[in-house]
Amino acid sequence: MNAQDFRIGVVGAGMMGADHIRRITRSISGANVSAVIEPDTGRAQAALGDAPAAQAFTRVEDALDAGAVDGLLIATPGFLHEPVLLPAIEAGIPTLCEKPLTPDPESSLRVLEAEQAGGRRLIQVGFMRRFDPEYRQLRGLVESGETGELLMLRCAHRNAVVPDSYQQESLITDSVVHEFDIVPWLAGSPIRSVEVKFARRNPLTPERLREPILVLMELENGVLVDLEMNVSVQFGYQVSTEAVFSSGIARIGEPTGLQTWHAGRFSMGEHADFTTRFATAYDAQVQAWVDASRAGTTTGPSAWDGYRVAVACQEGVASLGGGGQRTIDVPPTPAFYA
């Protein structure tokens, strides 16, 4: 663990918490998991497999008292957030809290009051769509005015299926909750009203649910929003937004990234250079090499691959210089490289 790293205590080691532990350990720089706070010892032990240097606690107060964390990441169910947020604020610890902040406005207000009383902003809520490249591009388009003023948002949130724990209210509190955050963020205006309409019920939806639904929102600036919330669409997962502007249309959430209709054309961006086209490949390459080297093994293209390419380049250059069709002559791969 680097001395200067930011030490994170992850609260809750369920599916979401375990995913964050893996993320902090594998993908995030400048931070490590220093504590796992989880009353279920089985879960806690499993989570420590990915973060062997972390300490296990069953109560957040103990982790704070031990000075074991510089920040907290809360990944428990929403009704357990307040009991963690209040001591974290008390201790002055920056906290990333999975959505929702708390399950109802009253408890949220108590958290707000505590944070303000402390005099310092400490809480970030996990509405991760704000960090999605496509939502950011779309917001950039709203701000640029390139396609005019924003007039409507036509949204769809489609899950293939949902788990047994998903209840009728979850349509709002687990799923639409994301739109309640991102719509005002995109449109630059708060929500004035909300209304739910029911579509024909999906015969494939679980007995306990009545959906899909259409959620209508009016924003203070007049922007109108209709959101299809659909959790049994079977075919896959799709979260899309079509933004209607005064002189064009834009859409995100299909496999192609931001699409626009403007000035008589439908268009999508193309890569400008290799840094975006092959960003994933470069990272994956070096990570694979590091992992193999640490394990004392090898992976990826070998020196023999390098040699074969050198021969092909030699003949390619000869053909480029006017040599016509050139044979590539490489001996059989030695067993050493097979």
Q: Is 166 in the site for a copy of itself (CB under 8 A)?
A: no
Is the peptide bond prior to 212 cis by the omega test (within 30 degrees of 0)? yes
Do the Cβ atoms of 97 and 126 come closer than 8 Å? yes
Q: Between the CA of residue 178 and those of 165, 183, 192, 218, 323, what are the distances in Å?
A: 18, 8, 17, 16, 62
Do the Cβ atoms of 150 and 223 come closer than 8 Å? yes
User: Judged by CB, which is closer to a copy of itself: 131, or 165?
Assistant: 131
Taking the complex as a whole, the smallest distance from the CB of residue 139 to a copy of itself amounts, in Å, to: 13
Q: Is 28 in the site for a copy of itself (CB under 8 A)?
A: yes
Q: Which residues between 269 and 288 bind a copy of itself (CB under 8 A)?
A: 269-274, 277-278, 280-288
User: Judged by CB, which is closer to a copy of itself: 44, or 227?
Assistant: 227
User: Judged by CB, which is closer to a copy of itself: 207, or 273?
Assistant: 273
Give the x/- contact pattern for a copy of itself in 101-140, rule: CB under 8 A: xxxxx-xxx-xx--xx----xxxxxxxxxxxxx-x-----
For 302-335, letters b (16+ CB in 10 Å) and e give eeeeeebeeeeeeeeeeeeeeeeeeeeeeeeeee
Q: What is the token pair recorded at 3?
A: 């001395």
C-alpha 236: how far from chain center:
17
Taking the complex as a whole, the smallest distance from the CB of residue 141 to a copy of itself amounts, in Å, to: 13
User: Judged by CB, which is closer to a copy of itself: 58, or 136?
Assistant: 136
Give the x/- contact pattern for a copy of itself in 3-22, rule: CB under 8 A: ---x-x----------xx--
Q: Is the dihedral of CA 173, 175, 181, 187 positive or negative?
A: negative
Q: Which residues contact 152 (CB under 8 A, 6 or more apart)?
A: 223, 224, 225, 226, 243, 244
- Candidate residues 165, 203, 207, 208; the one interacting with a copy of itself per rule CB under 8 A: 203
- Candidate residues 100, 141, 142, 241; the one interacting with a copy of itself per rule CB under 8 A: 100
Do the Cβ atoms of 6 and 30 come closer than 8 Å? yes
Q: Which residues between 226 and 265 bind a copy of itself (CB under 8 A)?
A: 226, 228, 230, 232-239, 244, 246-249, 253-257, 261-265
User: Judged by CB, which is closer to a copy of itself: 207, or 336?
Assistant: 336
C-alpha 336: how far from chain center:
43
C-alpha 102: how far from chain center:
20
Tell me the C-alpha distance between 104 and 78, whole Å.
Answer: 9
Closest CA to 97 of 172, 114, 119: 114
Taking the complex as a whole, the smallest distance from the CB of residue 41 to a copy of itself amounts, in Å, to: 25
C-beta atoms surrounding 242 within 10 Å: 19
User: Judged by CB, which is closer to a copy of itself: 58, or 152?
Assistant: 152
Q: Which residues between 295 and 334 bind a copy of itself (CB under 8 A)?
A: 298-317, 319-320, 324-328, 330, 334
Tell me the C-alpha distance between 73 and 10, whole Å.
Answer: 5
Taking the complex as a whole, the smallest distance from the CB of residue 71 to a copy of itself amounts, in Å, to: 5
Q: Is 176 in the site for a copy of itself (CB under 8 A)?
A: yes
Stretch of 39-47, 59-67, 137-145, 201-209 contacting a copy of itself, by CB under 8 A: 201-209
User: Judged by CB, which is closer to a copy of itself: 58, or 302?
Assistant: 302
Q: Is 45 in the site for a copy of itself (CB under 8 A)?
A: no
Give the x/- contact pattern for a copy of itself in 50-89, rule: CB under 8 A: --------------------xx-x----------------
Residue with tokens 């893996």: 22
Taking the complex as a whole, the smallest distance from the CB of residue 307 to a copy of itself amounts, in Å, to: 4
Do the Cβ atoms of 85 and 97 come closer than 8 Å? yes
User: Judged by CB, which is closer to a copy of itself: 76, or 102?
Assistant: 102
